[in-house]
Amino acid sequence: DVKVTQSSRYLVKRTGEKVFLECVQDMDHENMFWYRQDPGLGLRLIYFSYDVKMKEKGDIPEGYSVSREKKERFSLILESASTNQTSMYLCASSLQLTDTQYFGPGTRLTVL
Amino acid sequence: QKEVEQDPGPLSVPEGAIVSLNCTYSNSAFQYFMWYRQYSRKGPELLMYTYSSGNKEDGRFTAQVDKSSKYISLFIRDSQPSDSATYLCASFRIQGAQKLVFGQGTRLTINP
């Protein structure tokens, strides 16, 4: 069974703080993704990575950066958190781009 | 206009009813079609995956794709309270920026 884990289920940060969200998958998947999920907007892709050290912008990359130093780990970084980044953040992985994406449980981030 | 449109509901039906969930997508660049189910406070998980037009059945669930009208449907027969969840349609865009595009999600409640 594929397992995708995220470092925190709930996180509260202050405006201007640097925030790190970590994601780890255990199935040797090539592709990893970061989404945010907001009511009425569904899942929106922030960034994805198709290989170690490779990344591609998604639909809403502004205010975020990512890091993939190891195949199993994909980090999302909020350089200077703002209140409009309060959201549910979901990480996913897949073997091929068109394959099933396996999601982690999500991190609910609140920025005060 | 969103590339994949889904009525966010909420939808509430009695136990045992047939549920119909629907999405539309914008153009022929979308070629793979999926339904994900997301329980409260969990990440989405794949429910159905279809590659082409027609029906695909799995137990009480049937996914239907009509490429001529760009319409995606999920039918749930003999609905159960355990089917209460948010259902997300998704389609993979194979032209341009290749990525999975999600609908907004429909929140479904099955009442005992």
What DSSP letter does each residue of chain A carry, written as one string? ---EEES-SEEEE-TT--EEEEEEESS--SEEEEEEEETTTEEEEEEEEEETTEEEE-S--TTEEEEEEETTEEEEEESS--GGG-EEEEEEEESSTTSPPEE---EEEEE-
Confidence band for B51, pLDDT divided at 50, 70 and 90 = confident
Q: What is the mean pLDDT of residues A33-58?
A: 93
**A59/B65 Cα distance (integer angstroms):** 26
Q: Using a CB-CB distance cutoff of 8 angstroms, which residues of chain B are in contact with residue A25?
A: none
B82 SS3 class: helix
What pLDDT, on a 0 to 100 scale, did the predictor assign at position B95?
Answer: 78
- Which of B30, B46, B100 has the highest number of chain A CBs within 10 A, making it the mutation to test binding with A? B100
Helix (H, G, I), strand (E, B) or coil at B3: coil
Of B87 and A1, more confident: B87
pLDDT band of B93, cuts 50, 70, 90? confident
User: Is residue A20 pLDDT above 80, yes or no?
Assistant: yes
pLDDT at residue A2, as a whole number: 66
Q: Which residues contact B11 (CB under 8 A, 6 or more apart)?
A: B19, B21, B106, B107, B108, B109
Give the pLDDT confidence of A57-111 residue by residue, as tens digits: 999 999 999 999 999 999 999 999 999 999 999 999 999 988 899 999 999 999 9
Residue B27, pLDDT above cutoff 90: no
End-to-end CA separation in angstroms for chain A: 37
Measured distance CA(A74)–CA(A48) in Å, rounded = 9
Query: Least CA distance to A44: which residue of chain B?
Result: B102
Kindly indicate the confidence band of residue B29, based on its pLDDT and cuts at 50, 70 and 90.
Answer: confident
> Which of A103, A107, A108 to mutate to test binding with chain B, by most B CBs within 10 Å of its CB?
A103
